[in-house]
């Protein structure tokens, strides 16, 4: 690969050069949603950055096998393996059955991924369709002596693992116990967790299955271990998720895999920071959901939120504000305007060259020679940044520095080479730049512009300025060059 990829590995707590387990291939697992409510922008921050990582790997020529789970059973309202199942609880609130509810919110999740241009995984696996795999994995863990049974289920004995908690850097025995209710007091150790939960004796659950230990349902953590190992093998390249999964969910996945294979499930564990609104994270439990639909209703392009995600280093906490999103929408519009300008110049260049008129518009030699080196340096610097622990804020800075230099004198650049460069970087940015069409100027605006140009050639500056003002009032800007002009709209939204 031309640019080595460096990424922060939570497992080792340092930035490492990525080396695949099998040359040319990457196996990647990303923790999906618990589908008991609408997908919100806090979720999407993680999924967008996972998509960036995947796009970088694809750009590098890797074949990426990407698996994402959907939690549609077993995620309880408490990480202490107590409380109600989130799916069944929400289904009761909405007067739906659990299966209908899970399908509805899964579809909402997938539609949101498409709106922000996330490449869908190769495999999307719901927990309810992999009950057999989860039971078989629990059997293997049991055979190796890592389980015990209490009144509400089958539990994993974390005391058998000396490095439990390796992801968070807090080793076994050093964790502070948290407050827990009566049932949880039967656990042998504070960090033990449920592999299989028994159905209540006094009522029938909507989602329950027979097992060697009794009728019930899988614990939350076993699904990811079972499904990732089914589709990616016992030890794969990359496991991703939010930082909130580190101390419990991902620690428990590692424990389950280590009990069977002696390995930590994945070579690289990559985690993404939270999105907060004021002092609180955006979450279902707090009821402060902001959805892509909410952004659209306020007139934002969903890709403006994707741009926002790039403005904060992925491991840091991001503080969302509407003012920040306004700035990102404006920046995205300016990027679209830049692409339109380059395409207009490209079109003019082709038209003039084909007419072979004397003294006609043409790209300067520096555009074909000297500034090609600037374009190449821009590409290289951008790609180096995204390969340096996904430094998207730096990549955006490099992009805007190039655009500012281009705008000083666009005729010094070959427009085709510029557009080719942006087509390459957009494979990572995913702003649909290739879909932007050259501007179609309304006839009334074009007529005024032509009249203004005639007056300007006659050096009737005051009269020509009046026509410029008319163009501005119609929502367009006109930019003059030596032998031609360009018209662009004030507002551009490539939605």
**What is residue 136's predicted lDDT score, i.e. its pLDDT?**
98
Q: Above 60 in pLDDT, residue 368?
A: no
Share of the chain above pLDDT 90, in %: 70
Q: What is the pLDDT of residues 380-399, one digit of tens each?
A: 999 999 999 999 999 999 99
Share of the chain above pLDDT 70, in %: 89
Q: Are strands 25-30 and 236-242 parallel, antiparallel or unpaired?
A: parallel
Q: What is the pLDDT of residues 86-140, one digit of tens each?
A: 999 999 999 999 999 999 999 999 999 999 999 999 999 999 999 999 999 999 9
CATH 3.40.50.620 residue ranges of the chain are: 6-320
Tokens found for residue 11: 């497992």
- The model's confidence at residue 360, banded by pLDDT at 50, 70 and 90, is very low
**What is residue 383's predicted lDDT score, i.e. its pLDDT?**
98
Q: 6-320: which CATH topology?
A: Rossmann fold (3.40.50)
**What is residue 403's predicted lDDT score, i.e. its pLDDT?**
96
Chain centroid to Cα 199, Å, comes to 36
Q: What is the pLDDT of residues 55-93, one digit of tens each?
A: 999 999 999 999 999 999 999 988 778 889 999 999 999
Q: Above 60 in pLDDT, residue 493?
A: no
CB atoms within 10 A of CB 4: 12
Q: What is the pLDDT of residues 215-242, one digit of tens each?
A: 999 999 999 999 999 999 999 999 999 9
Q: Above 50 in pLDDT, residue 366?
A: no
Q: Would you put residue 143 in left (φ > 0), alpha (ψ -120 to 50) or beta?
A: alpha
Q: Which residue has the higher pLDDT, 346 or 16?
A: 16
Tokens found for residue 100: 């209908």
**What is residue 175's predicted lDDT score, i.e. its pLDDT?**
53
Contact 92, 116 (CB under 8 A): no
Q: Above 90 in pLDDT, residue 367?
A: no
- The model's confidence at residue 362, banded by pLDDT at 50, 70 and 90, is low
Q: What angle do CA 17, 23, 29 make, to 5 degrees?
A: 70
Burial 380-412 (b: 16+ CB within 10 A, else e): ebbbbbbbbbbbbebbbebbeebbeebeeebbb
Q: What is the pLDDT of residues 237-246, one digit of tens each?
A: 999 999 999 9
Per-chain mean pLDDT for the chain: 89
Q: Which residue has the higher pLDDT, 424 or 411?
A: 424
**What is residue 70's predicted lDDT score, i.e. its pLDDT?**
98
**What is residue 278's predicted lDDT score, i.e. its pLDDT?**
77
Q: Above 50 in pLDDT, residue 276?
A: yes
Q: Which residue has the higher pLDDT, 39 or 458?
A: 39
Q: Are strands 193-198 and 216-218 parallel, antiparallel or unpaired?
A: antiparallel
Mean pLDDT of 416-445: 91
CB atoms within 10 A of CB 12: 12
Mean pLDDT lowest among 288-297, 355-364, 372-381, 453-462: 355-364
**What is residue 398's predicted lDDT score, i.e. its pLDDT?**
98
**What is residue 183's predicted lDDT score, i.e. its pLDDT?**
46
- The model's confidence at residue 443, banded by pLDDT at 50, 70 and 90, is confident
Q: Above 70 in pLDDT, residue 42?
A: yes
Tokens found for residue 462: 């005051």
- The model's confidence at residue 437, banded by pLDDT at 50, 70 and 90, is confident
For tokens 């006659």, the residue is: 458
Mean pLDDT of 362-373: 60
Q: What is the pLDDT of residues 173-200, one digit of tens each?
A: 555 544 333 446 789 999 999 999 999 9
**What is residue 285's predicted lDDT score, i.e. its pLDDT?**
66
Cα distance between residue 398 and residue 264, in whole Å:
37
Mean pLDDT of 412-431: 96
Q: What is the DSSP string of 365-431?
A: HHHHTHHHHHHHHHHHHHHHHHHBT--HHHHHHHHHHHHHHHHH-GGGS-HHHHHHHHHHHHHHH--
**What is residue 459's predicted lDDT score, i.e. its pLDDT?**
79
User: Going by C-beta distance under 8 Å and a sequence separation of 6 or more, which residues neighbour residue 132?
Assistant: none
**What is residue 369's predicted lDDT score, i.e. its pLDDT?**
47
Q: Above 70 in pLDDT, residue 355?
A: no
Mean pLDDT lowest among 74-83, 157-166, 192-201, 303-312: 74-83
Cα distance between residue 417 and residue 150, in whole Å:
67
Helix (H) or strand (E) holding 453: helix 443-457
**What is residue 351's predicted lDDT score, i.e. its pLDDT?**
62
Q: Above 80 in pLDDT, residue 292?
A: yes
Provide the whole-model pTM: 0.90
What totals of helices (H) and strands (E) does the chain contain, helices first?
Answer: 15, 16
Q: Where are the beta strands (DSSP E) in 226-368?
A: 236-242, 266-272, 275-277, 280-281, 318-319
């Amino acid at each position: 690969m031309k640019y080595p990829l460096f990424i922060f590995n939570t497992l080792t707590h340092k930035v490492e050069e990525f080396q695949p387990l099998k040359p040319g291939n990457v196996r990647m697992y990303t923790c999906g949603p618990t589908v008991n409510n609408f997908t919100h922008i806090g979720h999407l921050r993680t999924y967008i950055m996972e998509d960036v990582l995947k796009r970088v790997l694809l750009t590098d020529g890797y074949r990426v096998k990407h698996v994402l789970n959907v939690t549609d059973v077993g995620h309880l309202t408490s990480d202490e393996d107590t409380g109600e199942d989130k799916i069944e609880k929400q289904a009761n609130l909405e007067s739906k059955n659990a299966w209908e509810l899970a399908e509805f919110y899964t579809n909402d999740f997938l539609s949101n991924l498409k709106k922000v241009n996330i490449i869908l995984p190769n495999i999307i696996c719901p927990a309810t369709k992999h009950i057999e795999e989860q039971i078989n994995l629990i059997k293997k863990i049991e055979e190796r002596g890592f389980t015990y049974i209490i009144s509400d289920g089958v539990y994993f004995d974390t005391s058998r693992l000396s490095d439990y908690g390796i992801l968070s850097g807090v080793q076994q025995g050093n964790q502070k116990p948290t407050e827990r209710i009566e049932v949880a007091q039967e656990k042998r150790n504070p960090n033990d967790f449920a592999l299989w939960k028994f159905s209540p004796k006094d009522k029938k659950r909507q989602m329950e299955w027979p097992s060697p230990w009794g009728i019930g349902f899988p614990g939350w953590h076993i699904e990811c271990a079972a499904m990732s190992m089914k589709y990616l093998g016992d030890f794969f390249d990359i496991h991703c998720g939010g930082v909130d999964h580190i101390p419990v969910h991902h620690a428990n996945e590692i424990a389950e895999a280590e009990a069977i294979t002696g390995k930590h499930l994945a070579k690289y564990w990559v985690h993404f920071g939270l999105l907060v609104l004021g002092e609180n994270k955006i979450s279902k439990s707090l009821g402060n959901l902001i959805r892509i639909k909410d952004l659209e209703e306020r007139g934002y392009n969903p890709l403006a939120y994707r741009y926002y995600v790039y403005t904060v280093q992925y491991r840091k906490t991001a503080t969302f504000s509407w003012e920040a999103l306004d700035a990102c929408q404006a920046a995205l519009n300016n990027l679209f305007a830049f692409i339109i300008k380059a395409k207009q110049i490209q079109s003019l260049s082709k038209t003039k060259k084909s007419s072979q008129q004397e003294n006609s518009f043409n790209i300067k030699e520096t555009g074909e020679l000297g500034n090609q080196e600037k374009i190449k340096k821009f590409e290289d610097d951008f790609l180096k940044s995204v390969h340096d622990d996904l430094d998207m804020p730096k990549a955006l800075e490099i992009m805007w520095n190039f655009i500012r230099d281009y705008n000083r004198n666009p005729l010094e650049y070959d427009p085709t080479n510029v557009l080719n460069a942006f087509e390459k970087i957009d494979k990572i940015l995913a702003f649909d730049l290739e879909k932007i069409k050259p501007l179609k100027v309304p006839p009334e605006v074009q007529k005024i512009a032509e009249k203004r140009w005639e007056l300007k050639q006659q050096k009737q500056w005051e009269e020509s300025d009046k026509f410029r003002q008319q163009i501005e009032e119609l929502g367009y800007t006109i930019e003059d060059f030596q032998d031609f002009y360009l018209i662009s709209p004030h507002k551009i939204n490539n939605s």
